[in-house]
Amino acid sequence: MELRDELPLDHRLARVYRWGAAFCGVVLLVFGCLGFADSLTPFDTAGEHVAGMSTNGVLSLVSVVVGLVLIAGAVIGGNVASTINMAVGILFLLSGFVHIFLLDKPGNVLDFGMTNIVFSFVMGLVIVTFGMYGRVSSRLSHDNPYWQRRHPAQAAREAETRRAAPEPVPVPIASHTPTGRR
């Protein structure tokens, strides 16, 4: 059994996963490239700022790598993009929590400040939302492939009912319009 066999095939939701991954990937890529453009030293914690957030060379590298992973997910698309979005979003949220406790401590090697933590939480929530869109809800529509995968018996009954229903007969349209005369 392979993962691709367990997830529904590409669906119209795949556009949401792709655009979300691409948007967030480009934002991270730009932030990382701006850090490289400033020639930051790798583990400097002196408080260099790029785009309003403190950064150093390692954080720029991490941002570029994660941005490229998200963009690769957008290129691949479908369920892969959704899964990558969820994984990266959760990592961003965990990073925000970890760095709250590392503020002003020697273990803060990525030079996170409070703006970085807020950005990590916001970006994590945005990425996770893009990844979970249409996959996680208590009221998924019955044409949603994730709903169909979770309720195979009911989906099969509904598909059989649709196949057994008679085709609607088209109503002919009159070739003339009423003139209103009597």
> How high is the pLDDT of residue 55?
78
Dig out the tokens for 59 from the structure.
């954080």
Top pLDDT among 19 and 147 is at 19
Dig out the tokens for 129 from the structure.
């939302």
In angstroms, how far is the first alpha carbon of the chain from the final one? Answer: 73
Query: Where residue 43 falls among pLDDT bands split at 50, 70, 90?
Result: low
Q: Indicate the residue type of 138.
A: S
Query: What is d(CA 165, CA 152) in angstroms, rounded to the nearest whole number?
Result: 20
For the whole prediction, is pTM greater than 0.85? no
Residue 26 has pLDDT above 90, yes or no: yes
Query: What is d(CA 84, CA 28) in angstroms, rounded to the nearest whole number?
Result: 15
Q: Determine the distance from the C-alpha atom of residue 44 to the mean position of all C-alpha atoms in its chain, rounded to a whole number.
A: 31
Mean pLDDT score, 91-107? 90
> How high is the pLDDT of residue 45?
62
Query: What is d(CA 20, CA 36) in angstroms, rounded to the nearest whole number?
Result: 24
> How high is the pLDDT of residue 1?
43
Residue 7 has pLDDT above 70, yes or no: no
Dig out the tokens for 66 from the structure.
């994660």
For residue range 124-173, list pLDDT tens digits in order: 999 998 888 766 666 667 777 767 777 788 878 877 887 787 777 777 77
For the ranges 4-8, 82-86, 107-111, 163-167, the lowest mean pLDDT is seen at 4-8
> How high is the pLDDT of residue 94?
95
> How high is the pLDDT of residue 77?
81
Count of beta carbons in the 10 Å neighbourhood of residue 101: 9
Top pLDDT among 90 and 2 is at 90
> How high is the pLDDT of residue 12?
66
What would you report as the CA-atom Rg of the chain, rounded to the nearest whole angstrom? Answer: 25
Query: What is d(CA 88, CA 167) in angstroms, rounded to the nearest whole number?
Result: 46
Task: Show Cβ contacts of residue 60 under 8 Å, excluding neighbours closer than 6 positions.
Answer: 31, 32, 33, 34, 35, 36, 40, 50
Angle at 9 between CA 6 and CA 15, to 5 degrees: 125
Residue 6 has pLDDT above 50, yes or no: no
